């Protein structure tokens, strides 16, 4: 094999020493360096990476360390093997995010059947008053108890409401839901609206109706763990596209569609669970353009777009996206999690398949719940409740960000949502989320580990921090404990006292 030559600028960056005293793994540092070189254009599509032994020798690393970095890049789809000649930057590979826009989980390019996230047992907290940062739901102090009590009381007062509702829902309830969705700007012209027993059932109906045996689903990464549970139960093969601070990275979407012919793309464009980020307007436009061009069906899960601290993100299901978007609406976070009712808004061509799947799963939605939902949506107090709920969530999100910032957790980064109920933290290298969650539970803080929401090992360093169920003072206490635990781990990795360490000016 002819000896490969590397231009001076590339060689200077590629072969400079790694930071051996830092907390980041050497393999992670090397992988990130190569990503940065691709972003900068110093490594282009078709360029070969240095052979394992050669790069290991130049950087004074083990071959295993270089191999681990290369494997990570291959898993992201950035590089691919070329017969016996080694790895090269893949043509059409999704360009990694630039500094400040690193994805919150890696890209999974091979279709993967998810594990069952509901089988994960979280550690029990110690202490008399645990801080609940693991549950993405409003605290009981934020629920509209009086509004819900009046709505259910009125529904239960009529004996007819204790009977089965008509398949398809009560006409007056459908009218109330349609009116609410229209006020939210959701395109309903030419659409079929189905009432369901919540978003989980909605996704089960869509998956049952539209996923062929062994079919592929595209998702965000990380993504809502209940969606992964539904896809796992259906045997779907999932390809995950990474999420950064602007939401779903759309750059690799067309390539994934052309290569894998997915049944649909599932995403939460507003205050995504678990990261809390939202799809930017530019990416929204790009996503819809790709979907229309390639006839990609998009499943929009809108569970909390109303809970915006400023202007609400625009739905994908407006007039321009109505033909390629199935819109799934939940009312659990807006009214009460126990209110198990939701809606599907789909292009009319999917009506027969979706209705058939609904009939085969469970065609009945509680009459009492339907009546209660309609009463809540049409009550003047509902808008007042939404405003109060959003303001309270904004205060809690601010308390979380302020407290984490005050502690400056060593090597960690986190999202700063503009709405919704949760944020995402990426732990420092060598800090594993499962161990951290156990340590936090011993201090009375409940957290959700990243592997609930991820398809690969990138979840090992992720945490979902849900701020809606805890009061601001509880959040400050819980976030303070998170900061203390990270500082404790950082101190354990620092050089012993008295040992000199050079610091660059």
Whether residue 229 is predicted with pLDDT greater than 50 in this model: the reply is yes
pLDDT in tens, 239-268: 999 999 999 999 889 989 998 999 999 999
pLDDT in tens, 446-473: 999 999 999 988 889 999 999 999 999 9
The arithmetic mean of pLDDT across residues 301-323, rounded, is 94
The structure tokens listed for 364 are 């009945």
Please identify which residue in the block is written with the tokens 């681990």: 68
pLDDT in tens, 119-138: 777 888 887 889 999 999 99
Instruction: Quote the pLDDT of residue 1.
Output: 39
In the predicted model, what is the mean pLDDT of the chain?
Answer: 88
Instruction: Quote the pLDDT of residue 93.
Output: 61
Question: 117-139+383-493: which CATH architecture?
Answer: Alpha-Beta Complex (3.90)
pLDDT in tens, 257-301: 998 999 999 999 999 999 999 999 999 999 999 999 999 999 999
The arithmetic mean of pLDDT across residues 406-411, rounded, is 79
Per-domain boundaries in the chain: 8-96, 117-139+383-493, 143-379
The structure tokens listed for 393 are 């969530």
Question: 143-379: which CATH architecture?
Answer: 3-Layer(aba) Sandwich (3.40)
Longest dimension (CA), the chain: 85
pLDDT in tens, 189-199: 989 999 999 99
Q: Where are the beta strands (DSSP E) in 303-432?
A: 325-330, 342-347, 413-414, 422-426
CA distance readout (Å), 462 to 25, 91, 193, 218, 270: 16, 30, 36, 21, 20
Q: Quick one: which of 266, 238, 119, 222 has its CA closest to 457?
A: 222
8-96 has which CATH code?
Answer: 1.10.10.10
Q: Quick one: which of 119, 118, 346, 103 has its CA closest to 240?
A: 103
* pTM exceeding the 0.85 threshold for the entire prediction: no
d(Cα 467, Cα 132) in Å, to the nearest integer? 8
């Amino acid at each position: 094999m002819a000896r490969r030559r590397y231009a001076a600028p590339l060689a200077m960056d590629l072969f400079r020493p790694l930071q051996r005293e830092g907390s980041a793994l050497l393999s992670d540092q090397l992988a990130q360096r190569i990503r940065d070189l691709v972003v900068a254009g110093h490594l282009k599509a078709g360029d070969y990476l240095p052979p394992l032994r050669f790069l290991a020798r130049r950087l004074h690393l083990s071959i295993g360390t270089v191999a681990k970095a290369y494997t990570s890049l291959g898993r992201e789809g950035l590089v691919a093997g070329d017969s016996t000649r080694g790895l090269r930057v893949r043509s059409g590979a999704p360009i990694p995010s630039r500094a400040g826009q690193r994805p919150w989980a890696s890209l999974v390019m091979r279709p993967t059947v998810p594990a069952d996230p509901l089988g994960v047992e979280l550690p029990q907290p110690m202490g008399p008053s645990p801080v609940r940062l693991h549950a993405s739901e409003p605290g009981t102090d934020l629920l509209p108890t009086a509004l819900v009590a009046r709505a259910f009381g009125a529904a239960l007062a009529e004996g007819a409401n204790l009977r089965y509702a008509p398949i398809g829902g009560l006409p007056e309830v459908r009218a109330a839901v349609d009116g609410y969705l229209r006020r939210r700007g959701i395109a309903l012209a030419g659409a079929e609206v189905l009432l369901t027993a919540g978003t989980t059932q909605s996704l089960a109906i869509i998956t049952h109706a539209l996923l062929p045996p062994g079919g592929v689903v595209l998702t965000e990464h990380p993504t809502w763990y209940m969606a992964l549970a539904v896809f796992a139960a259906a045997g779907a093969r999932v390809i995950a596209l990474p999420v950064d601070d602007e939401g779903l990275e759309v750059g690799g979407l067309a390539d994934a569609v052309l290569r894998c012919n997915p049944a649909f793309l599932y995403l939460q464009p507003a205050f995504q669970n678990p990261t809390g980020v939202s799809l930017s307007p530019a990416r929204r436009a790009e996503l819809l353009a790709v979907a229309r061009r390639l006839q990609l069906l998009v499943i929009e899960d809108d569970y909390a777009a109303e809970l915006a601290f400023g202007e609400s993100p625009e739905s994908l299901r407006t007039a321009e996206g109505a033909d390629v978007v199935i819109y799934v609406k939940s009312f659990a976070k807006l009214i009460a999690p126990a209110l198990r009712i939701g809606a599907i808004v789909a292009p009319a061509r999917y009506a027969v398949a979706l209705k058939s799947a609904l009939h085969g799963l469970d065609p009945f939605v509680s009459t009492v719940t339907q009546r209660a939902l309609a009463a809540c949506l049409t009550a003047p107090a509902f808008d007042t409740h939404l405003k109060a709920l959003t303001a309270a969530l904004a205060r809690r999100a601010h308390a979380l960000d302020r407290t984490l910032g005050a502690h400056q957790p060593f090597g960690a980064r986190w999202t700063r949502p503009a709405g919704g109920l949760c944020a995402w933290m990426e732990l420092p290298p060598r800090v594993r989320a499962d161990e951290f969650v156990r340590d936090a539970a011993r201090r009375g803080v409940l957290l959700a580990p990243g592997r609930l929401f991820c398809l690969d090992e990138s979840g090992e360093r992720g945490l979902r921090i849900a701020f809606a169920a805890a009061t601001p003072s509880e959040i400050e206490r819980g976030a303070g404990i998170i900061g203390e635990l990270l500082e404790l781990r950082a101190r354990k990795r620092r050089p012993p006292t008295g040992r000199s360490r050079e610091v660059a000016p």
